[in-house]
Structure 1
């Protein structure tokens, strides 16, 4: 897959006269009330003041104004980007995304980003530098259609940051570190996006495993790819049942990263890898089924996270597990009324073959636990119910450990990803019981997002566990902020 790469650097004051395609200057509403900032030619300052006076540009996050410089500055254009929300790195990420879209419109390849010292002082430099790099990179990363004439993504090759006037060494270090970290995080997100947007005929379970193997080779991870025969030997009844209806056999993908060999804590990251979901015998409605290429969004998120881990090499231990399968109807497909024996020995009555994600994830949790994971986060495009409840702006979570759940919610908040916690009361668990087996995979007509999550939690074996349902947020139909649309037109 083609990777979008932007070189982020901190620019020293003496290099400020080097030519670039555009200068980006972030401006707050308060700054607009003051006389023109340092370094602006009088003509440009006057144009900005007129735009502000006419309320065409208010300095609000998401607003941009672009002017040609006509040779008055060492750049072809100057771009003013509004920035509200004092010291809020999330607002800076949004403002950077708006700036990136404006840079794309003028086909800029290189840019200098300027922040006044007063504005920069409001931020934690490391968090803000990361948000800036993420906003600029992610807003440019569009889905590329597959057409006879090859499509190309606009690339911003380099971004140089200036704090005006020149900042002290400690501030420079913080912003530079943030820029580098943000670039790495953004690349991981872009990798996950590209995987999620791949058509189902291109991304089968076996092909997804090959991408994981490429990633493992690039970062020297240990990897296991469990095929259908080994899965049968290991008792992965859930994975095999879901994949049985397809000619593309399932795979259980396991990646090992040991960054802290002396520590006993091992994170299990489990991502749903259903590369296409028809619903199986419980067939989905036809309209919108093409969106089910995104049903491996959880797997893509886990692989994107592993790319980031490979770049940063943190002192943690991680076992990443991806149960990959196609859920197809055929004469071999599993069907309502079947009883499956799962990898941990529990039996499951199948009441709906379209509730397949929780079945493969259950074997995924057992796989992670048997390989040493002792705290688990699973990520899945699991239920339509979470979309009905939260729309496509917020992910839902169910957990058995409130402390771990809160840590995940706070991490999401820092990354600009909103997560809402659902209750996990004992009364809900009673609805999972089956008269024919230990559990049923569906059946109660209410609280679908909670029930799907709690089914997975039955396989956590009492270890700290958090489930993230990203069915609404993994694949957006309309672009917003740093999230271009994920749905083919």
Structure 2
């Protein structure tokens, strides 16, 4: 049995105690009694700060409305406000609804994230503590921390500039995941990719000074079912557009064009650490896209690993070329289900803005299942159309298809291109995170990582 009075005996250095409003909770009642007044949340407020006026060792008590943790947008505001506090604070976890423990901890880690690796003066990270004597919360706390850490690791990758993180460095990072139980990593060099006839992927790499890296991360638990899900991430480490050069306004932040790669690495990290019963692989065809002596140009024709020929209309439609060979490779390695994640098109941003990830599928039941995980993780997707009309715009008179069909319905056309590299009968979801992966002022968001973890962790 816990002792309610112990909440009052926390050492002086904890300047703020944080409770969720729980009038029947012994901890909450004990603090109210010590203060001689009821702890309320002000009307229309998500939380209220109370001064203890010296009646407790802690100077302040923060009371959070339960509804503020139940609603995703309000919870984000609360966790951001707590992470921004400069004083030392402690959450009395016993007052937090059990079902919200995981999202609270992952949310606090997300909110306290700072990318200051390249700043000469770094702010101290927020200090996260919990106070609980409830053993059954341990698993939920662990899950929240694992998810929060995996998301933040992915955000670090996306925020890191190209001169510190090229394809080779990304492969080295992926190799580090082998210290997780059940994880193995293979990295295929240029010669290996040539042997597999990956002409689409290698075509994008022709302008680069860095070697291409095909990265395969496998998580195989004991007694895994025969089904294997491949998470295929776009790994364009920097995208200049190639000879279809981006404008000066369109070039900054193109370090985030490997956001899909970071997303699948973050997802598989957490899935493995949580010891999911599902077999999962992450596949990344990593390279940058730039101008060079041997770089591809419009009108070139490339041959993908599945034998399809591709006429290059725009060298700035390169991500789909790398994904084409990566999708083929994932199926060659035994994937029965596919989810690709990519900062693929500006068109999806025009259609959906920055709140919704664009979703496409060849299997409605599969996407419906995934959407349930999206809702549980409090993320947002919006399904966009995909049919034969979109593929028709990619017709070429010199090749099997072209890599661009113009600006109209660009997100759907890109998805139609990718579907040409998915085997008949293989359930597949395409997530275009171009609008949700990166914010200009705050950097990488970690979008879709919690949803992928939720979908594959149990």
Measured against the shorter chain, the TM-score band is 0.7 to 0.9
Matches within 5 A, 1:358-373: 358-373=320-335
Asked if the contact 2:360–2:431 (Cα under 8 Å) also holds between the matched residues in 1, the reply is yes
Match of 2:431 in 1: 468
1:317-346 Cα offsets, whole Å, 9 max, x none, are 112101111000122111111110001111
Work out whether 1:112 is the aligned partner of 2:84. no
1:416-473 Cα offsets, whole Å, 9 max, x none, are 2100011112222222222111111102331111111121111011211000000111
Shift of the 78–257 alpha-carbon distance from structure 1 to 2, 3 Å rule, reads same
Match of 2:401 in 1: 439
How many Å separate the matches in 2 of 1:379 and 1:363?
14
Shift of the 276–424 alpha-carbon distance from structure 1 to 2, 3 Å rule, reads same
Asked if the contact 2:437–2:446 (Cα under 8 Å) also holds between the matched residues in 1, the reply is no
Asked if the contact 1:142–1:153 (Cα under 8 Å) also holds between the matched residues in 2, the reply is no
- SS for the counterpart of 2:429 is strand
Query: Quick one: which of 357, 366, 378 aligns to 1:416?
Result: 378
- Deviation of 1:178 (Å): 2.2
Query: Quick one: which of 48, 52, 65 aligns to 2:48?
Result: 65
User: What is the TM-score of this pair, normalised by structure 1?
Assistant: 0.83
Asked if the contact 1:205–1:251 (Cα under 8 Å) also holds between the matched residues in 2, the reply is yes
Aligned length in residues:
438
How many Å separate the matches in 2 of 1:114 and 1:225?
43
Match of 2:107 in 1: 135
- Deviation of 1:351 (Å): 0.4
How many Å separate the matches in 1 of 2:292 and 2:266?
33
How many Å separate the matches in 1 of 2:34 and 2:388?
68
- Deviation of 1:260 (Å): 4.8
Work out whether 1:24 is the aligned partner of 2:18. yes
Which moves more between the two structures, 268-277 or 225-234? Answer: 225-234
Match of 1:404 in 2: 366
How many Å separate the matches in 1 of 2:362 and 2:409?
17
Asked if the contact 1:141–1:153 (Cα under 8 Å) also holds between the matched residues in 2, the reply is no
Work out whether 1:349 is the aligned partner of 2:285. no
Shift of the 479–224 alpha-carbon distance from structure 1 to 2, 3 Å rule, reads closer
Shift of the 263–336 alpha-carbon distance from structure 1 to 2, 3 Å rule, reads same
1:205-244 Cα offsets, whole Å, 9 max, x none, are 0010010011224445221111111111111111111111
Which moves more between the two structures, 149-158 or 333-342? Answer: 149-158
How many Å separate the matches in 2 of 1:11 and 1:21?
22
- Deviation of 1:279 (Å): 0.6
- SS for the counterpart of 2:439 is coil
How well do the aligned residues superpose, as a CA RMSD in angstroms?
2.7
Which moves more between the two structures, 361-370 or 304-313? Answer: 304-313
Query: Quick one: which of 149, 154, 179 aligns to 1:192?
Result: 154
- Deviation of 1:40 (Å): 2.2
Structure 2 unaligned spans of 5+: 448-458
Query: Quick one: which of 278, 285, 298 aligns to 2:260?
Result: 298
User: What is the TM-score of this pair, normalised by structure 2?
Assistant: 0.88
Match of 1:39 in 2: 31
How many Å separate the matches in 2 of 1:66 and 1:143?
28
- SS for the counterpart of 1:108 is coil
Match of 2:125 in 1: 154
Match of 1:79 in 2: 62
